[in-house]
Amino acid sequence: MHNDHISSSFNEDMAELNQYLAELGRLAQSQYAASIDGIATQNVPALRALIDKDPALDALEAQIHTKAFEVIAMRAPAATDLRRVLVSLKLATSLERIGDFAKNIAARTIRISEMGNERIPGVNIGRMAELVNSLVLDALVLIDTPDSQKAVKIWSRDVEVDHLYGTFNQEVLASMSRNTDMVPTGSHLLFIAKNIERVGDYATAIAEQIYFLVEGVMLDDERPKADREITIHKA
Amino acid sequence: MDQGIGAARMMKGRANMAKSTASKIQAEDVSVFYGEKQALFNVSLDIENYAVTSLIGPSGCGKSTFLRCFNRMNDVIPHCRVTGSIRIDGIDLNSAEVDPVLLRARVGMVFQKANPFPKTIYENVAYGPRIHGLAANKDEMDFIVEDSLKKAGLWAEVKDRLQDQGTGLSGGQQQRLCIARAIAVGPDVLLMDEPCSALDPIATAVVEELIDQLKERFTILIVTHSMQQAARVSKRTAYFHLGELVEYGDTKTIFTNPANQQTEAYISGKIG
């Protein structure tokens, strides 16, 4: 497969687009990793620093959009080039949203820290958070080195996140039912868990886009889901 | 095999028979030789009726050579030999009973550079119908000229100066005059060999819009070096490389997800 265009400036445009994407990916993952660290450490200054970094992700997303529009207008990309540009737009949105969820996790963790540890339900969110982190890291590898088979693997692992999310929800709800003092912090934890689950969804969306980039068709099978029938556990 | 509208017109002494088929033209195992050198290798493809088909590929790939097979223009090139078969509405163009002159009335051609005759606008269009005896009197000829110029999208611009020289028109108008000239003899296939390569973007857009309208009446084959023109105007695209047909399919597929890596490299402007 020939990767270099005859036009060197076309190569430069695509390289610039890839560079922005790599930078946004690295930043989104580090924001997410910092947010889940923050749940454990409740290091408020670090969480505030994380929130302050979010505009940088927004700016990178805007740069990717601008560059993609320029490439479409100026280069009239075709085939894989066209898919790469279109996928870049979607990847940028997915990565920026991961950053948004990290910011929301940080903001809610700050609220929880202000309520006191004795009011936090004794539940473990770490396993789900780490699983999602590994999905995000794998998705970033895909952006750098597109591979449709690896994309399918990531895509199918989201069901594990859904299972953990369902279990976590039930545990928090049970804890809140047993002790109403846990309701304020428990509510924030439910939202944090939802944010983490959504980060997993976006890692999956990245895998879907990479599959489309490589194969030229969308994954047509419905992804296995386990979060459609989450029931409220009555203690 | 059934014979379509006008099929008999290119044959000596045959009456018209009417039929329309989805596949207007069938090229089968077509090879072209210039002396000892083979320029085209065993090309087979079907051309859809009432649609635009683009032939693309780098210079020297054989696309224009292939285009010229459809009206036997290769006959006039010394030492050129064509093998295989090309059928239009079931009639083999290379059969002994096909008259090349009548064939070229039925399969019109528009060239890269507009080449109007050094005659008036009216005479440029009337010339073909006159030598083919298509008009019994001046009224009929006037009708053919007006109708052809209208179909070529030129009537409104020239109706008040039909006696002006055709060579005095702008480049884009000259090219549309040549299209009117081709249409005037009643073809049902139009061959276009880089028809916009000498035109500015506005004139190109006008001709492309015209091609889009003409496909309602004609089967059109166009050779173009402009990837975007092929993408804009054609329903199907054939990619040639070094005399071989590499890939042939729906234009949307060719430009979004081609099956062949050579096609991908060419349409993406990559080093091939």
Q: Is the pTM of this model over 0.90?
A: no
Say if the Cβ atoms of B231 and A78 lie within 8 Å: yes
Count of C-beta atoms within a 10 Å radius of residue A201? 22
Residue A73, chain B, CB below 8 Å: the answer is no
Interchain contact, A78 vs B271, CB within 8 Å: no
Find out whether B229 and B208 touch, Cβ atoms under 8 Å.
yes
Chain B hits for A5, Cβ within 8 Å = 268-271
State the virtual CA torsion across B109, B112, B114, B115 in degrees, nearest 10: -70
- The answer to whether residue B252 neighbours chain A at the CB level (below 8 Å) is no
For residue B62, the SS3 value is coil
Which of B255, B256, B270 lies at the smallest CB-CB distance from A5? B270
Can you give the pLDDT of all 235 residues of chain A as single tens digits?
557 888 888 899 999 999 999 999 999 999 999 999 999 999 999 999 999 999 999 999 999 999 999 999 888 899 999 999 999 999 999 999 999 999 999 999 999 999 877 777 778 899 999 999 999 999 999 999 999 999 999 999 999 999 999 999 999 999 999 989 889 999 999 999 999 999 999 999 999 999 999 999 998 766 556 554 433 333 3
Contact, B181 vs B148, CB < 8 A?
Answer: yes
Strands B91-92 and B37-48: unpaired
Q: Are A12 and A71 contacting, i.e. CB atoms less than 8 angstroms apart?
A: no
* A217 at interface of B, judged by CB pairs closer than 8 A: yes
> Is residue B74 helix, strand or coil?
helix
Q: What is the ipTM of this complex?
A: 0.72
* Spatial contact of B94 and B86, defined as CB atoms under 8 Å apart: yes
